[in-house]
Structures are given as C-alpha cells and as structure tokens.
C-alpha cells in the first residue's frame, strides 16, 4: 500500500498567496516600491541589532568583536536614517540594485571568457546576459523611475513564477494521492 502525502494543499496555499502578492506588486508598483524601501530600512536596522548583540555577547572570546560592534552601530544608525527619510531609502535601494547588477554583469562577462577558454560552446549566452545585465544596471542608476519599476518587477516576477510552481506542485501531490 502506498503512503499518502499529507497537507498537499499547503504548497497550493503558499502558491496562491505568492501569486496574488506578485499581481498586487505589478499592478501597484509605486506603493510596492514604498513598501520595499521600508523593508530595506528595517532589514539594515535589524542586521545592525544582530551584529551588536553578537559583538557584545562574544567580546570575551572573539578577538574582532569591536569591528562587529562598530558595524552593528553603523547599520542601526543607517537603518534609522532610512526609516525616517523614505526618499533616502528609495534612492539607496535603487542605487544598491543598480550597482549590484553592474557587478553581476561584469562577473558574467568575465566568466563567459573563462567558459570560452574551457571550450564551452555556448559561452556567448553568458556573455550576452552579462552585457544585457550591464546595460540594464546603467539604466537603473541613471533613471530613478526606471530603477523603481525595475526593483518592483525584480521582486514580483520571480514571486509570481514561484507561486505558480507551488500551485502546480500541490496539485501534482494531490493527484499522486488519488492513484
């Protein structure tokens, strides 16, 4: 006798939540971006708090605890500044995304030449994606509106795909139970 898979419906529920959240983000990009900037500020503040606790709790056994203490204080100050100045948080999030994609694009381009050297036949796909990522990153950095929509869609599109995959996975589990 085959075992039943319990709670097959949980991936479906999560998938539906992710899908509807993604649709909300796509249809309300300005509000979604504002929410992401607030989240960005809280994440930096929280990271600082954890670094602070880590440094203080390990000051007797960790030689470099002072660095973690300074980083924690710095992150908490930056987090508070971002939370109380949403425009600064918005600009920071756009610039962070733009520079992150710049470095990612450069890494892909350089990696593609390594792939070519190793004899990989489709090395040019990595090169092309690196060039496109680099162009995209420059557009984000020089045009804040483009950057704002890009950040929202960079979150919403994978969220939507994950949601649909979760729904399909849950339905497949249910069908396995019916066999």
> Which band of pLDDT confidence, cut at 50, 70 and 90, is reported for residue 1?
low
Classify residue 41: in a domain, yes or no: no
Is residue 88's pLDDT more than 90? Answer: no
Classify residue 69: in a domain, yes or no: no
Classify residue 66: in a domain, yes or no: no
> Which band of pLDDT confidence, cut at 50, 70 and 90, is reported for residue 123?
very high
Classify residue 51: in a domain, yes or no: no
Classify residue 42: in a domain, yes or no: no
The model carries a pTM of 0.64
Alpha-carbon distance 30 to 42, whole Å? 19
Is residue 179's pLDDT more than 80? Answer: no
Classify residue 47: in a domain, yes or no: no
Question: How many domains, the chain?
Answer: 1
Dump pLDDT digits (tens) for 7-61. 889 999 999 999 999 999 999 999 999 888 898 889 999 999 999 999 999 989 8
Classify residue 55: in a domain, yes or no: no
Q: Domain range for residue 125?
A: 9-36+86-174
Classify residue 58: in a domain, yes or no: no
Exposed e or buried b per residue across 69-78, where buried means at least 16 C-beta atoms within 10 angstroms of its C-beta: bebbeebbeb
């Amino acid at each position: 006798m085959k075992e039943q898979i319990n709670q097959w419906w949980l991936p479906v529920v999560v998938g539906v939540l992710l899908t509807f959240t993604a649709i909300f983000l796509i249809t309300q990009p300005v509000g979604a971006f504002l929410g992401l900037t607030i989240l960005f500020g809280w994440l930096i503040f929280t990271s600082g708090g954890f670094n602070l606790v880590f440094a203080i709790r390990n000051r007797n056994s960790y030689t470099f605890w002072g660095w973690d203490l300074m980083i924690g204080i710095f992150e908490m100050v930056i987090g508070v500044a971002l939370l109380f100045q949403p425009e600064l948080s918005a600009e920071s999030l756009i610039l962070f995304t733009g520079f992150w994609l710049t470095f990612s694009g450069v890494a892909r381009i350089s990696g593609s030449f390594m792939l070519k050297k190793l004899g990989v036949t489709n090395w040019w796909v990595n090169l092309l994606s690196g060039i496109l990522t680099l162009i995209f990153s420059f557009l984000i950095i020089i045009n804040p509106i483009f950057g704002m929509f890009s950040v929202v869609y960079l979150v919403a599109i994978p969220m939507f795909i994950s949601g649909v995959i979760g729904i399909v996975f849950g339905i497949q589990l249910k069908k396995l139970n019916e066999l």
